[in-house]
Amino acid sequence: ANGYYRSRWVKCIWSSHDLSDMVFIDNRIFNKDVYIQFNSTVGHFVGYTEHGVYNAQRYNNDPNILQQERVELERVCKHNAEIRQSTIIGKS
């Protein structure tokens, strides 16, 4: 209870059936505050604290890390959304 709390929340957000407006968001959280975030619409990391700004600069300068995050929109979000939508349509 008196230690530090670190977590990561990954979100896929969309509102249409064609998935063209889908957004992938990867939040890195320390003690309940987001300190760095990747948003697929922005296309790079944004830091919200001193430590987050430092890491965002490091991550944004590494093409491997950026590419890995950018691929997640297709790999995780769209893939799973297509499975869910086909399941829902198949039950109608």
Angle at 50 between CA 47 and CA 56, to 5 degrees: 35
CA 9 to CA 54: how far, in whole Å?
Answer: 20
The residues, any chain, with a CB within 8 Å of residue 64's CB and separated by 6 or more, are none
| pLDDT for position 49 | 96
What is the reported pLDDT for 19? Answer: 76
What integer pLDDT is reported at residue 89 of this predicted model?
63
What's the mean pLDDT when you consider all of the chain? 88
pLDDT tens per residue across span 50-79: 999 999 999 999 999 999 999 998 888 888
Fold classification of 6-89 (topology level): 3.10.320
